[in-house]
């Protein structure tokens, strides 16, 4: 047999059950346990030593590449953390400035703030929101009630006039306004419509849908 065929046979020892010792091989094994090896074993030693050298070179390249990548990752992580902290600081500054703007907006002389202050005074005086418009005795209270209904309508319809002003929504909620219509609110609303119908038609008998 040729030398290549001899080398190809080295992986088999010829004894059943003793043909694979890979699980017992240490990394970069170079020991020559036979002082005066036969030609076959010597060829195997030479092939093994060449493979060890090649494996070491590949491992060194891989190790350098791994360390380079680790260094780049650490640098990128450091840059990312700096950007995260920069973004967090910018967001904190934005929230602080926006909160200051919202607080000042609620103090500016304008129609919305004027009506809100009237509603606030009413709630502080009576302890509750004004009833439905038809149940209000005073015209000023009726207007406040209509305004509250308008604000609710804007929220229900997700109008930009109110959705883009969350500080106004929160200010209204602080007075006890609830955006989910309760059964009592619904009853009062329908009752108010019935009262208004009675005033216009002098009757509470509604026309049939079939007519």
Task: Give residue 22's Cα distance to chain centre.
Answer: 50
pLDDT at 15 over 90: no
pLDDT of residue 24: 56
Confidence of residue 178 (pLDDT cuts 50, 70, 90): confident
Average pLDDT over the chain, rounded to whole? 83
Q: What is the pLDDT of residues 80-102, one digit of tens each?
A: 999 999 999 999 999 999 999 99
For residue 183, the model assigns a pLDDT of: 63
- Look-up of token digits 């003793």: 18
Give, in degrees to the nearest 5, the angle at Cα 38 between 37 and 44.
Answer: 80
- By percentage, how much of the chain surpasses pLDDT 70? 81
Distance, CA of 175 to CA of 68 (rounded, Å): 62
Helix or strand run (H / E) with residue 77: helix 39-105
Residue 210 is predicted with a pLDDT of: 37
> Is pLDDT at 57 greater than 50 in this prediction?
yes
Nearest to 145 by CA among 133, 128, 127, 162: 133
The yes-or-no verdict on residue 10 having pLDDT over 90 is no
Please state, in angstroms and rounded to a whole number, the distance separating the CA atoms of residues 40 and 18. 18
When pLDDT is cut at 50, 70 and 90, the band that residue 184 belongs to is low
């Amino acid at each position: 047999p040729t030398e290549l065929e001899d080398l190809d046979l080295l992986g088999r020892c010829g004894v059943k059950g003793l043909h694979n010792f890979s699980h017992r091989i240490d990394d970069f094994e170079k020991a020559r346990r036979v002082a005066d090896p036969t030609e076959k074993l010597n060829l195997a030693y030479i092939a093994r030593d060449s493979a060890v050298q090649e494996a070491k070179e590949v491992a060194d390249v891989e190790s350098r590449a791994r360390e380079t990548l680790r260094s780049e990752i650490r640098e990128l992580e450091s840059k990312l953390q700096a950007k995260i902290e920069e973004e967090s600081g910018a967001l904190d500054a934005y929230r602080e400035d926006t909160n200051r703007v919202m607080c000042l907006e609620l103090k500016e002389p304008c129609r919305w703030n004027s009506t809100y202050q009237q509603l606030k005074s009413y709630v502080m005086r009576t302890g509750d929101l004004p009833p439905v418009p038809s149940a209000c005795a005073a015209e000023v209270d009726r207007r406040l009630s209509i305004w509250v209904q308008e604000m609710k309508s804007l929220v229900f319809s997700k109008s930009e006039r109110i959705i883009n002003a969350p500080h106004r929504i929160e200010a209204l909620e602080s007075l006890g306004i609830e955006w989910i219509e309760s059964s009592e609110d619904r009853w009062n609303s329908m009752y108010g419509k019935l009262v208004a119908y009675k005033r216009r038609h002098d009757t509470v008998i509604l026309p049939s849908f079939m007519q």
